[in-house]
């Protein structure tokens, strides 16, 4: 099906403006048109009033948009983004609309646009915004929507999705002007008919945001019926980002094929990727002198005369039975396409026949296009040579007491797992480095490796369970970094056990004494402190108790 996927999505006469998105093993899929998104931001005075936190609603909005700009550069740099302020003192737009300022026209995201947004962050940025653009003014939301519609119309390339995200904390902007309210409702209806979706990203205000006063009739949502209108206002950056990212994500089919159920029965289905591994973007060759991307062009020349050959001057040939068969280009294409791309139902198998070791790549989801009925998963089965027989190593069976103790540990460490809660640290660091280079930052922003275990939290939850488990599984005085230690015989003396325990401490006594004298014992990790306390037969479970026990011990000795 890989070759058919390429045939379906790669046309000969594609426009240069078509967006390249989504990547599969078979190649890059192309979609007809680009996504376009306008951030329509309220710049009136209430947006600059803090509700208790240091960040104002205006700050939250700009940080959210900056994050979207950065993610778009990484994930889909062909998308078109724009930033428009309404309710400003100054007017800056191509139409005769007052109190509307276009910061960015609809264009692809870049480092310069992110730097433009960074100018207006924090207190100095807000002061600069008030001086250069200003806030306040008798604006019209209907004219703001009209301006956004004109921005979409001015774009020459083909667009697949048109969306406006409205950021505000004012639930009734035209409470005293019914004419402007009516104009805004009429313009919102025009946008709906033009296929432009308007989403409300409302922010928290002290007395609460009531969407029923005005925006219930203004907002129109896209085909994502499960998302709908978010009635809860955002008061934190994470809430706002979650809302924006959920709205900007598109449900797009990788391909649309015919599912043949029988000789004369078939239906059109769309193929969707539910999960896809995140990878680093491919490298781009740059010209050394100008640092511009290098494009590769292939030209064919005549081997005898050296003249340039056009595509119509070349033919393809293949030798069959000592005879050279010359084929036209369209004939070679027809040879590759022996049938229309489709999925053929061979039969049914019980789900129990599908084993875990059959997994070779993430499954895909197919969904009927004719009507809204439930779809089903498309699982890729391995070939015969993908499954091999191996000799499993000999396992030591745990006794019932050890199993019960491990069940207690597992029960203590359970949590609700979400795959999107753990980001790939290698990719995150890679993109931070690119961001630092593009924005001329001194050093990249630090990342938090969410894959590392939270040692202190684990120690706090488990308490003494780990030590109890070790006593059940390992012999006394066991050192995981050293050689295996035989179990102690019943007749061994306490003095011998004490010497053995001290010998198994990974940190020396001189180093411990140095840490105590300098007062930096707290820099050691809890496992190291516990190991040292066990070596000197000191009590304590929490970090501070361990530190105090060691300090007291070295003061006496």
Residues noted as catalytic: 30
Instruction: Give, in degrees to the nearest 5, the angle at Cα 44 between 43 and 49.
Output: 100
Please state whether 92 falls in left (phi above 0), alpha (psi between -120 and 50) or beta: beta
Q: Is 283 helix (H, G, I), strand (E, B) or coil?
A: coil
244: Cβ contacts below 8 Å, ≥ 6 apart: 64, 68, 165, 201
Backbone angle region of 168, left / alpha / beta, with phi > 0 → left and psi within -120 to 50 → alpha = beta
Q: How many CB atoms lie within 10 A of CB 550?
A: 22
Please identify which residue in the block is written with the tokens 């959210």: 64
Q: Beta strand 159-168 with 34-42: parallel, antiparallel or unpaired?
A: parallel
Question: What's the CA dihedral at 542, 544, 546, 552 to 10 degrees?
Answer: -150
Tell me which residue of 116, 23, 21, 33 sits closest to 72, measured CA to CA.
Answer: 21
**Angle 111-118/57-75 helices, nearest 10 degrees?**
170
**Alpha carbon distance 95, 106 (integer Å):** 15
Parallel/antiparallel/unpaired status of strands 159-168 and 196-202: parallel
User: Cα(108)–Cα(323) distance, rounded to whole angstroms?
Assistant: 53
Contact 40, 146 (CB under 8 A): no
DSSP string, 49-101: --SSSSS-HHHHHHHHHHHHHHHHHHH-TTSEEEEEEESBSS-BSSSS-TTEE
Residue with tokens 């084993």: 355
Q: Give the 3-state secondary structure percentages of the chain, helix then strand then coil, rounded to 5.
A: 40, 20, 45
């Amino acid at each position: 099906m890989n070759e058919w996927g390429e045939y379906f999505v790669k046309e000969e006469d594609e426009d240069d403006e078509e967006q390249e998105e989504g990547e599969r093993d078979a190649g890059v899929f192309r979609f007809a048109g680009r996504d376009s998104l306008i951030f329509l931001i309220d710049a009136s005075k209430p947006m600059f009033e803090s509700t208790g936190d240091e960040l104002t609603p205006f700050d939250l909005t700009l940080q959210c948009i900056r994050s979207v700009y950065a993610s778009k550069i990484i994930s889909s740099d062909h998308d078109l983004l724009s930033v428009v302020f309404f309710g400003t003192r100054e007017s800056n737009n191509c139409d005769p609309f007052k109190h509307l300022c276009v910061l960015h026209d609809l264009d692809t995201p870049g480092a310069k646009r992110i730097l433009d947004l960074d100018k207006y962050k924090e207190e100095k940025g807000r002061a600069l915004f008030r001086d250069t653009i200003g806030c306040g003014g008798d604006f019209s939301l209907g004219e703001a929507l009209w301006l956004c519609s004109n921005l979409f119309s001015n774009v020459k390339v083909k667009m697949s999705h048109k969306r406006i995200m409205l950021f505000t904390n004012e639930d009734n902007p035209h409470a005293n002007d019914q004419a402007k309210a009516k104009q805004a409702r009429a313009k919102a209806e025009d946008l709906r008919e033009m296929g432009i979706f308007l989403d409300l990203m409302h922010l928290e205000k002290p007395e609460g945001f009531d969407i029923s006063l005005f925006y219930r009739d203004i907002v129109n949502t896209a085909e994502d019926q499960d998302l709908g209108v978010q009635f809860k206002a955002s008061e934190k950056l994470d809430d706002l980002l979650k809302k924006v990212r959920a709205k900007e994500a598109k449900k797009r089919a990788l391909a649309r094929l015919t599912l043949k159920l029988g000789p004369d029965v078939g239906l059109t289905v769309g193929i969707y990727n539910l999960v896809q591994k995140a990878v680093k973007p491919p490298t781009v060759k740059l010209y050394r002198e100008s640092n511009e991307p290098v494009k590769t062009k292939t030209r064919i020349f005549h081997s005898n005369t050296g003249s340039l050959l056009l595509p119509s001057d070349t033919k393809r040939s293949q030798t069959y039975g000592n005879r050279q068969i010359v084929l036209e280009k369209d004939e070679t294409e027809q040879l590759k396409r022996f049938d229309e791309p489709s999925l053929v139902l061979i039969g049914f198998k019980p789900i129990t026949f599908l084993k875990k070791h059959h997994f070779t790549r993430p499954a895909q989801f197919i969904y009927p296009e004719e009507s809204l009925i439930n779809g089903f998963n498309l699982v890729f089965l391995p070939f015969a040579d993908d499954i091999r027989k191996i000799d499993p190593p000999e396992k030591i069976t745990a006794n019932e007491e050890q199993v019960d103790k491990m069940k207690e540990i597992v029960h203590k460490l359970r949590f609700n797992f979400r795959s999107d809660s753990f980001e790939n640290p290698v990719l995150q660091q890679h993109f931070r480095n690119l961001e630092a280079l593009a924005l001329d930052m001194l050093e990249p922003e630090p990342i938090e490796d969410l894959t590392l275990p939270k040692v202190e939290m684990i120690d706090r939850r488990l308490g003494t369970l780990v030590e109890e488990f070790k006593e059940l599984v390992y012999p006394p005085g066991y050192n995981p970094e050293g050689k295996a230690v035989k179990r102690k015989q019943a007749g061994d003396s306490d003095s011998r056990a004490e010497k053995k325990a001290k010998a198994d401490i990974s940190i020396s006594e001189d180093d411990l004494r140095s840490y105590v004298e300098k007062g930096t014992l707290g820099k050691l990790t809890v496992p190291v402190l516990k190991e040292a306390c066990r070596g000197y037969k000191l009590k304590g479970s929490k970090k501070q108790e361990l530190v105090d026990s060691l300090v007291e011990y070295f003061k006496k000795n």
